[in-house]
Amino acid sequence: MKVTSWNVNSVRTRLEHVTQWLEANPVDVLCLQETKVVDKDFPEQAFTDIGYHAYFYGQKSYNGVALISKEPLSDVQKGFSAVIDEETVGDLDAQKRVISGVLGNVRVVNLYVPNGSAIGSEKYDYKLNWLALLKQYLTLQLEAYPKLNVCGDFNIALENKDIYTDKRRDKHIMSSPAERETLRDVLSIGLSDAFRKFTDEGGHFSWWDYRSGSFARNTGWRIDHHYLSSALYEQAISCTIDIEPRGLERPSDHTPVTVEY
DNA sequence: ATGGCCTGTTACACAGGA
């Protein structure tokens, strides 16, 4: 089974890239982030035309997540409130960042973790609070499904080797100590980085800033991840980053990451 | 140090991204 995570930075703008990539790289589930479209305008037909099912949870202009699958998914859940009571969730479902579905005996959770803007900002606090709720959410998901694949754009690089430079890492959004500690606490429920099962060295990235010719200079970050429960981690046979779509004309700033188990 | 660039909106600059 192959599952891919890809922040496409607008599914409508990137539609040809995504469908052409899928036809060249068939996968069981493609998890999209930053679809940036309300559900009634999601380009579902483009995916059904090439033999895929589409499940989406979007909003106007910002955020939005979707699952694209070869076979129908079961028990598709949208938002934290699918498994956590409304009072605990509060306003953390207002932004559409969580969708999940089941294929076989595997639950795939697709996440678009808040960016956080700047250390100490309101959005930064929101990111940390969102991650704290995510821990509760994933704890419940793991109890129900021992085979859990949690993937998406985490907007966090856990190690300095996941970033092109190790300078001033503790002062930067996506690599500050509080973000890293909070994500590590989420993972402590029993999730491991599939990419690091196969690759130890640094210099592998999934996102390059549009500015300053970052892709050409390879000044990137690895912030898109597949975290697997132990039952699935043991089964994993590969985890790879496909940098090819980042070189296309008008690309997303992220590139697909695929795990196979 | 700063801003670089890209997307969607009802825009004719802005917010948000990372």
Give the CATH number, domain containing residue A139: 3.60.10.10
* CA gap A179, A163 in Å, rounded: 15
**Residues in a beta bridge with A66:** A32, A56
- What's the CA A206/C1' B1 distance, rounded, in angstroms? 27
Span A148-157, pLDDT tens digits:
999 999 999 9
- A197, with CB counted inside 10 A (0-12, 13-18, 19+), is middle
CB burial string A61-94: b at 16+ within 10 A, e below = eebbbbbbbbeebeebbbbbbbbbeeeebeebbe
Task: Check residue A166 and give its pLDDT.
Answer: 86
* Mean pLDDT in residue range A192-197: 98
What is the DSSP pairing of strand A106-112 with strand A148-153? parallel
The number of distinct structural domains making up chain A is 1
What is this structure's pTM?
Answer: 0.97
pLDDT > 90? residue A168: no
| Residue tagged active-site, from A52, A55, A112, A137 | A112
Tens digit of each residue's pLDDT (9 = 90 or more) over A43-88: 999 999 999 999 999 999 999 999 999 999 999 999 999 999 999 9
Tell if A123 CB is < 7 Å from nucleic strand B. Answer: yes
Query: What average pLDDT is seen over chain A?
Result: 97
Does residue A240 sit in helix, strand or coil? Answer: strand
Q: Of all protein residues, which has its CA closest to the C1' atom of B16?
A: A62
Q: What is the structure's pLDDT at A216?
A: 95
| Beta bridge mates, A77 | A100
Asked whether strand B has any atom less than 7 Å from the CB of A250, the reply is yes
A203 Rama class: left (phi>0) / alpha (psi -120 to 50) / beta: left
Give the CA A248 to C1' B9 distance in Å: 26
CA dihedral A118, A36, A137, A107 (to 10 degrees): -130
Domain that holds residue A66: 2-260
Instruction: Look up residue A182 and give its two tokens.
Output: 């909070």
User: Is the pLDDT reported for residue A1 higher than 90?
Assistant: yes
A112 annotated active-site: yes
Bases of strand B lying below 7 A from some protein CB: 3-9, 16-18
